[in-house]
Amino acid sequence: MRTLFKGGTVITGRGPKRADVLVEGEKVRQVGRLILTPADRTVDVEGCLLFPGFIDAHTHFDLDVCNTTTADDFTTGSRAALKGGTTTVIDFACPNKGESLQYGLDLWHKKADGRTFCDYGFHMTIDDWNESIRAELPEMFRQGVSSFKMYMTYPAMMVGDRDMYWALKELRHLGGICGVHCENAGVIDGMIAEKKAAGLMGPSSHPETRPPYLEAESVSRLLRIAQAADCPVVIVHLTNEAALREVEAARKRGQRVYVETCPQYLVLEDSVYDDPDYSRAARYVCAPPIRKDRDQQALWTALRKGEIQTVSTDHCSFTLEQKDAGRGDFTKIPGGLPGVENRGELLYTYGVTTRKISLATMCRVLSENPAKLYGMFPRKGVLQDGADADIVVYDPQADHVLRAEDMASLAGYSPYEGFAIRGGIHQVWLRGRLAVEDGFVLAGPDGKYIPRGKCSL
Ligand code: DUC
Ligand code: ZN
């Protein structure tokens, strides 16, 4: 089956170009001006932008946290992802301390295989460090897991500085890459105890106990540990200017540091926590928290300058009923925001049309860079001969407003309620098949597991 996309503008990491795209079966066969090869069907994409399918390298589907399970599992989460132009997600397999990595990976395959609407891969969480975990790492690579995650907060998952150092040394030796959640667990605990003692247990205490400078401290400490281990690292969900300055300093020392941020840190402000209505404020509780306008602007500037390489969502959805668990104690609010279906449209609207970033940057941070960073390039992340035919057809004329009732996520609310969107996602093609049209997911689940190789960014 040959499909010809005619008359559109193809977006690459280097910029836009007028080109037709010929797809054969699941693959892109040709990208060029006025392709004349006969096709079984022609799709008129005149006036539309064609992006390589977006990659969301930070999702949490079907995750148990805070004595509850995320509202979205792989079926509903990946359906939402696909609707928003995300054709590949990388979710975090998360064995508990004491369980093997293989157990965690098998469990995540059970959660995802046969139930996922978009293609998918897994990062592996390292929340324990001992000889048997070390010995399992080569097998993870053999099974297509080339990226890992460590936490500097959350007692159930965090590893200390020594173990972080040893794990990074081993990953360097194996050619792996590790994302790290950077927050200072100890001082945060101290600040939470002070809020408790003062009886200040509402959601507005959440950002006050996780200030940006403590995230920056943790970034700085991680980067010194990475320096000692001589290992590249990814700072996941970086939120603020002070943390960016730590990254800048490490890069000046010659370290390889990659940075991810998320849409919530680019378009929301910390005043969301000031709402006296508990459920309106609690819905924004996530870690690290939403920051101030000045941090937002620093993140946009860093994206424009190429200092931030990827934008993923950290989609970790809970319903408002689940968020209710923290009434009277903000530390019990399950942390995380939905948003897997909104990333492309938010970046286009609040980044591209406001000229904060170019179309090329949007393509790099949503598609090309995550594909390279996480070992999927050039199968994913680019529209060129031989790549998977994952295509987002973006119609710049299809303006609309984001509404919770239109979301596919089961969170039941949207952090972006009422946000005006410029243009919109008209179609999403997954490996040569029309998967989404004008907001309707047409078929599935038929997402494939994508075994990944080493970083090429
Ligand atoms: N932060 C959240 O808010 N939720 C999921 C995990 C994380 O790091
Ligand atoms: Zn996360």
- In DSSP notation, 357-381 reads S-HHHHHIIIIIHHHHHTT-TTTSS
Quote the pLDDT of residue 162: 97
Quote the pLDDT of residue 329: 98
**How would you label 87-104 residue by residue, b for 16+ Cβ within 10 Å and e otherwise?**
bbbbbbbbbeeeeebeeb
Cα dihedral 400, 405, 409, 411 sign: positive
Residues with Cβ within 5 Å of ion ligand 2?
A: 314
Please identify every stretch of the chain with a pLDDT value under 70, giving residue numbers as ranges.
none
The residue whose CA has the least distance to atom 6 of ligand 1 is: 336
Could you tell me if 176 and 101 are in contact, meaning their C-beta atoms sit under 8 angstroms apart?
Answer: no
* Ligand 1 centroid to residue 325 C-alpha, Å: 16
**C-alpha R_g of the chain:** 21
Quote the pLDDT of residue 66: 85
Burial class (CB in 10 A: 0-12, 13-18, 19+), 33: exposed
pLDDT tens figures, 368-421: 999 999 999 999 999 999 999 999 999 999 999 999 999 999 999 999 999 999
**Amino acid identity at 147:** S
Instruction: Please identify which residue in the block is written with the tokens 């934008």.
Output: 311
Q: Which of 314, 315, 332, 340 to mutate to test the pocket of ligand 1 (most atoms within 8 A of CB)?
A: 314
Ligand 1 touching residue 60 (CB < 6 A): yes
Ligand 1 touching residue 335 (CB < 6 A): yes
Quote the pLDDT of residue 364: 98
Q: What is the mean pLDDT of the chain?
A: 98
**pTM for this entry:** 0.98
Ligand 1 touching residue 334 (CB < 6 A): no
Instruction: Give 207's DSSP letter.
Output: H
Max Cα-Cα span within the chain = 73
* Ligand 1 centroid to residue 274 C-alpha, Å: 20
* Ligand 2 centroid to residue 60 C-alpha, Å: 6
pLDDT tens figures, 154-202: 988 999 999 999 999 999 999 999 999 999 999 999 999 999 999 999 9
The residue whose CA has the least distance to atom 1 of ligand 1 is: 287
Ligand 1 touching residue 181 (CB < 6 A): yes
* Ligand 2 centroid to residue 236 C-alpha, Å: 8
Ligand 1 touching residue 286 (CB < 6 A): yes
Quote the pLDDT of residue 6: 98
Provide CB contacts within 8 A for 439, sequence distance 6+: 83, 406, 425
Q: By three-state DSSP, how is residue 251 classified?
A: helix
Q: How big is the chain, counted in residues?
A: 457
Interatomic CA distance for residues 198 and 196, integer angstroms: 5
